[in-house]
C-alpha cells in the first residue's frame, strides 16, 4: 500500500517552521473534533500516527506527515473550539490562512465534516476563504457509521446541493473504514502520484 510508510515529519507553530516548500501536500482541515486525525490514521493504515484526542482543540500546530520523499499529508488545527480563547482562535485562523494562501506545495484540501452536523457556519466561512484560491477540494463526511443509510444519503445530498459543483464529496467512517479506498485514490490523484 502506497501510504504504509507514512511517518511523522514535524510540527510547525507558524509558517516559517514548515518544511521546505517543495513537493506536494494535501491538507486536512475541519472543525475541532470532526475526525481529522482519525481519518489520517485510517487512510495511512496506522493507528497512532496522528494524535487523537477526545478533547476538541487538541491539534494546535500544523503537523506534517511524510508519505514519500516530498509528498506529505498535513493535519491543520481544527476551527471552532468554543473553550479556546478568542485570541488563540484568531492566531490559529491567521496561521491556517497563511498556510493555505502561500504554500506552493498545497495541491488540495480534504475538508472533514461530521455528517451528523452537516455544513455549519464556520465551514461556510472556511469555504468562502478557500474557494477563491482555486485549489481542489474533497469533502469527507465523517462518522457516517453513526447514521442509518437513508440519513447518510440525505446529508450527502444536502452537502452536494450546496458545494457539489466545486467539490467532490464522499461518505467516510474511521471506525468502519468506510470510504477509505476512495479517499486514498482521491489523495493520490491530488498529489499527482
pLDDT tens-place string over residues 9-66: 999 988 999 999 999 999 999 988 888 889 999 999 998 888 765 544 445 789 999 9
Output the pLDDT for position 93.
Answer: 72
pLDDT single digits (tens) 89-128: 667 678 888 999 999 999 999 999 999 999 999 899 899 9
Element (DSSP H or E) covering residue 166? none
Please state the rounded mean pLDDT for residues 135-159: 96
Higher pLDDT pick, 129 / 86: 129
Q: Which 3-state string (H, E, C) describes 68-111?
A: ECCEEEEECCCECCCCCCHHHHHHHHHHHHHHHHHCCCEEEEEE
pLDDT at site 57: 47
**Residue 110: burial class (beta carbons within 10 Å; 0-12, 13-18, 19+):** buried
Fold of 2-191: Rossmann fold (3.40.50)
Q: How are strands ordered across the β-sheet holding 168-171?
A: 7-12, 62-68, 71-75, 24-30, 106-114, 137-142, 168-171
- In percent, the amount of the chain with pLDDT more than 70 equals 88
Q: Considering the entire predicted model, what is its pTM? A: 0.91
Return d(Cα 36, Cα 159) in angstroms, integer: 18
Residue 192 has pLDDT above 50, yes or no: yes
The residue written with cell numbers 478568542 in the block is: 86
pLDDT value for 18? 96
Domain layout of the chain by residue ranges: 2-191
Amino acid at each position: 500500500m502506497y501510504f504504509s510508510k507514512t511517518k511523522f515529519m514535524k510540527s510547525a507553530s507558524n509558517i516559517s517552521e514548515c518544511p521546505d516548500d517543495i513537493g506536494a501536500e494535501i491538507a486536512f482541515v475541519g472543525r475541532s473534533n470532526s475526525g481529522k486525525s482519525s481519518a489520517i490514521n485510517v487512510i495511512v493504515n496506522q493507528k497512532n500516527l496522528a494524535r487523537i484526542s477526545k478533547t476538541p482543540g487538541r491539534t494546535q500546530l500544523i503537523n506534517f506527515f511524510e508519505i514519500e520523499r516530498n509528498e506529505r499529508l498535513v493535519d491543520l488545527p481544527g476551527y471552532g473550539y468554543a473553550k479556546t480563547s478568542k485570541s488563540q482562535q484568531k492566531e490559529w485562523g491567521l496561521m491556517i490562512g497563511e498556510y493555505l494562501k502561500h504554500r506552493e506545495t498545497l495541491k488540495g484540501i480534504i475538508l472533514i465534516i461530521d455528517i451528523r452536523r452537516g455544513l455549519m457556519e464556520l465551514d461556510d466561512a472556511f469555504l468562502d476563504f478557500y474557494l477563491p484560491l482555486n485549489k481542489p477540494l474533497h469533502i469527507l463526511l465523517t462518522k457516517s457509521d453513526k447514521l442509518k443509510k437513508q440519513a447518510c444519503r440525505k446529508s450527502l445530498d444536502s452537502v452536494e446541493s450546496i458545494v457539489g459543483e466545486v467539490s467532490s464529496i464522499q461518505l467516510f467512517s474511521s471506525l468502519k473504514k468506510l470510504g477509505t479506498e476512495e479517499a486514498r485514490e482521491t489523495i493520490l490523484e491530488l498529489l499527482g502520484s
